[in-house]
Chain A
Amino acid sequence: MRHTLTSLAAAAVLTFAGGASAWTLKEAAAPYKGTTIKAIFLDRPGYAAAQKLIPQFEQETGIKVTWEVIPYESSRERQVLNFASQGGEVDVALVDVVWIGEFASNGWLVPINKFTSDPKLADPELNLKGFFPILLESFGTWNKEVYGLPFDNYSGLMFYNKCMLEEAGFKEPPKTWDELLNTYGPKLTKPEKNQYAFALQSRRGETQSADSFMRVLWPFGGSLLNDKFRSNLMSAESQKGLEFRQQLMKYMPPGIVDYDHAEAVNALAQGNVAMITEWSAFYSTLMDPTKSKVKDCLAITTEPAGPAGLKPALGGFSLAVSSQSPAAKQAASWLLIQWLTSAKMAVPYIEAGGVSGRVDAYKGLEDKYQFVKPMVASWQGGVPDYRPRFPEWASITEIVAEWGTRIMLNEVSVKDGAAAIGQRMEAVLQEAGYYEGKKPLLK
């Protein structure tokens, strides 16, 4: 936290001492005019929004920005291979919430303190406190050091078809998971009409582990690990959550274990399911009349609460500067990241289809964008370590994805599957040295 505070203090000092008018992006970028930097992007709405805005940055700074659009499933591999081989091909690293521990502890990212302490590069209006604290802490911070600024920000939300709910006699969406299962599920599921109450994307991969498995642990009071980094999956709360998912499957479309984000969103968009819990970023897809039949029936609320309260899914990406880039490219990359995630660009970013991490950006937008109110509520009550962010997550997510799917297919019981995950997960953590005190218990 010390470094975060240092960064905040530095930004504050710059604001008051230097004066906002003294610093301009154009002047800051002048030494780097003509520099070309490369970013890693995904094929998602937030990146399309950034691509629309970047020409403005290029025009103002003379810095040329290129990007490579990569499927999510390959994006970590692409970057790890680049960093491990000292490839120097990535200047602006894309850091998923679950990669920050790995990228930062390997020294692949530059702490932002290097830039915020440089008056020539630090925008006096940077204002790190202007980000939702959960986003900055979760997406950009590792071991109390800030490395990245929240860029593509997600919260799990419930998207539902209010017309279908009204037809079934419901005036409002379910407030709890229990209500969804016992009250809404039976009335909204009509297999003969190919209509189902709910779809929980559960395809093997990060979708299974993050979107499906973890989603039913936290609201029921469970978690993957306890404070000592031992498996917590055999606890009564975790077991209850996992058993709940099995019961809920009878109100989901057949083949739900093959549903990725696209399938779940499409099922709602085509009117085949009444409710989904998905990332806020899919709002623009569901509101696009060329992709969605339910635009006029679409409504959004927070995810249902469990016995432990509202514990929605948390995900997203920060942008960070690669430590392997030359100094000029690092500076140019920082200027881009700082500009793209700035308070000034937050509203244009939202209007271009992105989801900003700036608190103030949403003031006055609650009525314009349905997702704003539930998303802000979710970010105010979420779990920062919804998924562990340590480097070992890459191994653990594979274990959870395999056994989580097998549990859903009834190939193993919830108890046996959870035990298998726990045993394998602890073996990974044992090898990493957490139990012998070789590594701090950071997640």
Chain B
Amino acid sequence: MATTVDPLPAEGPTEDPMGAAGPRPGRMRLSPAVWFLAPAVLALAAVGIYPLGVAVVNSLHRYNLARPNAPTPFVGLDNYVAVLSDPSFWGAVGRTFAFLALVLPAELALGVLFALALHRPGLGLMRALTRVALVIPIATTYAVVGLIGRLIFNRQFGVANQALSWVGLPPVDWLGDPTLAFVAIAIMDVWQWTPFCALILLAGLTMVPRETEEAARLETTSAWSIFRHLQLPYLLPGITAILILRTADVLKLFDAVFVMTRGGPGTATELISIYVQRVAFRVFDQGLASAQAVILLVITIVLSRLYIKFVYREV
């Protein structure tokens, strides 16, 4: 890390090109890099590393926030054993990865399509307006997305059933049926995060040298060939970032789903974040919830490394 310390010369004048007097003997001079990095490191330590440390410590104790008079004994790895042998936890993990497998490819595919459409020359004002419009879903608060979702998928007056009626289909219970509720939360996630993917990928497309792209268009009329051999390599860093960020996002996705379904009906939409929230802030079992959070962190790190290893390529 940036804590290098420049050793002072043992004796003789300093070689400061500015001619300033050197530090007094016995004093160490910190590299400027330390000062530049220190605020970021301190902020990270305060908001990331310290809470993580507390979570790890909590995960090794029996600790219920709602039982302030109860002892908090050290229990070793008992909480981890309890989590790993809890079928509800694994059920929630399974649903989360099913959700990820559903939304991530959809968001990537749609994001690529939108990015390519916006990358085409000559759309002028329309393109500028579309870029602004893309920011709206991203800027919408998760809880508001959940509320919008409840309205869209309301059985009686929701837009979703209205759309079905236009093609002659009967209304369905989007939020009352386990499978459809899962689909409904996935649709809302795709609605909110496809624009994010599109904007990242659009930035990637602007990195393709204009001359190379023009030359490629002269060489072939196949859009697929241009995309596959020229544009895709420039998109890979963005795709890696999307994979990492969206995976982390989905693992902590809470507000929108909670507002839409509260994890129901049954356990149909109980993603891992909702399960952890129940344990942490309904039951207030901080020991168990911390163990769950640490396990999730490990899963996220492993997935991120895998994404970098198998997807990321320098252009």
Which chain A residue lies CB-closest to B277? Answer: A77
With contacts A80-B65, A106-B67, A258-B173 taken as known, whether A394 is within 8 angstroms of B284 at the C-beta atoms is yes
Whether B266 and A80, one on each chain, are in contact in the complex, defined by CB atoms closer than 8 angstroms, is no
Is A204 within 8 A of B283, CB to CB?
Answer: no
B14 interfacial contact with A, CB 8 Å: no
Report the count of interface residues on A (CB-CB < 8 A).
33
The distance from the CB of A192 to the nearest CB of chain B, in whole angstroms, is 11
Interface with B: A284-292, A362-370, A376-384, A403-411, which one?
A403-411
**Taking the nearest CB of chain B, how far is it from the CB of A86, in angstroms?**
9
Judge if B127 is at the interface, Cβ distance under 8 Å: no
Question: Which partner residue on chain B sits nearest A78 by CB separation?
Answer: B281
Chain A window 367-402, contacts with chain B (Cβ cutoff 8 Å), 1 for yes, 0 for no: 000000000000000000000000100110010011
Is B69's CB under 8 angstroms from A203's CB? no
B312 → A minimal CB distance (Å)? 40
Q: Is B67 in contact with A406, judged by CB distance below 8 angstroms?
A: no
Is A326 in contact with chain B by the CB < 8 A criterion? no
Do B282 and A254 touch across chains, with their CB atoms under 8 A apart?
no
User: Which chain B positions have C-beta within 8 A of A106?
Assistant: 66-69
Render A224-259 as a binary contact track against B, CB cut-off 8 A, 1 for contact. 000000000000000000000000000001111110
A307 and B295 CA atoms in complex are apart in Å by: 50
Given contacts A394-B284, A409-B266, contact A257 B65 (CB under 8 A): no
| A405 touching B66, Cβ below 8 Å | no
Q: Which stretch from B28-36, B174-182, B245-253 is at the chain A interface? A: B174-182
Q: A258 and B282 in contact (CB under 8 A), knowing A394-B66, A409-B178? A: no
| Contact of A254 with B155 in the complex, beta carbons under 8 Å | yes
A394 touching B282 by the CB < 8 A rule? yes
User: Across the interface, which residues of B come within 8 angstroms of A394, CB to CB?
Assistant: 66, 282-284
A194 interfacial contact with B, CB 8 Å: yes
Beta-carbon contacts under 8 Å, A182-218 to B: 194, 203-205, 208
- B 155-166 to A, binary, CB cutoff 8 A, 1 in contact else 0: 110000000000
Let me know if A55 is at the binding interface, CB within 8 A: no
B265 touches A77 (CB 8 A): no
> Do the beta carbons of A203 and B262 come within 8 Å of each other?
yes
Whether A31 is near chain B, meaning CB under 8 Å from some CB there, is: no
Say whether B192 faces chain A, with CB atoms less than 8 Å apart: no
Are B176 and A258 in touch, CB under 8 angstroms?
yes
Q: Is B264 an interface residue (CB 8 A)?
A: yes
CB distance from A208 to the nearest CB of B (A): 8
Q: Shortest beta-carbon distance, B161 to chain A, in Å?
A: 11
Interface size class of B (residues with CB under 8 A): 20 to 34
Q: What is the CB-to-nearest-CB distance from A198 to chain B, in angstroms, rounded to a whole number? A: 16
Q: Is B278 an interface residue (CB 8 A)?
A: yes
* Cβ–Cβ contact B266 & A258, under 8 A: no
Interface flags, B254-291, vs A, CB<8A=1, else 0: 00000001111111001000000010011110000000
CA distance A395 to B178 in the complex (A): 23
A102→B66 CA distance, assembly (Å) = 8
Question: B177 contacts which chain A residues (CB < 8 A)?
Answer: 255
Closest to B69 in A: A106
> Is A17 at the interface (CB under 8 A from chain B)?
no
The answer to whether A205 and B262 touch across the interface, beta carbons within 8 angstroms, is: yes
Whether B266 and A402, one on each chain, are in contact in the complex, defined by CB atoms closer than 8 angstroms, is yes
Given A77-B281, A106-B67, A409-B178: A255 and B173 interface contact (C-beta under 8 Å) = yes
Chain B residues, CB < 8 A from A391: 66-67
Which residue of chain A lies nearest to B278 when distances are taken between CB atoms in the complex? A398
A84 CB within 8 Å of chain B: yes
Selected A-B contacts with CB under 8 Å, 24 pairs: A81-B65, A81-B281, A106-B67, A106-B69, A194-B156, A203-B264, A204-B262, A204-B263, A205-B262, A205-B264, A254-B155, A255-B155, A255-B173, A255-B177, A257-B176, A257-B264, A257-B265, A272-B156, A391-B67, A395-B282, A398-B282, A405-B264, A405-B265, A405-B266
What would 9 more interface pairs be, CB under 8 Å, given A81-B281, A84-B66, A402-B266? Answer: A107-B68, A255-B175, A258-B181, A395-B282, A398-B278, A405-B266, A408-B265, A409-B178, A411-B266
The 3 closest A-B pairs by CB, nearest first: A255-B176, A204-B264, A255-B173
- Residues of B at under 8 Å CB distance from A? 65-69, 155-156, 173-178, 181, 261-267, 270, 278, 281-284
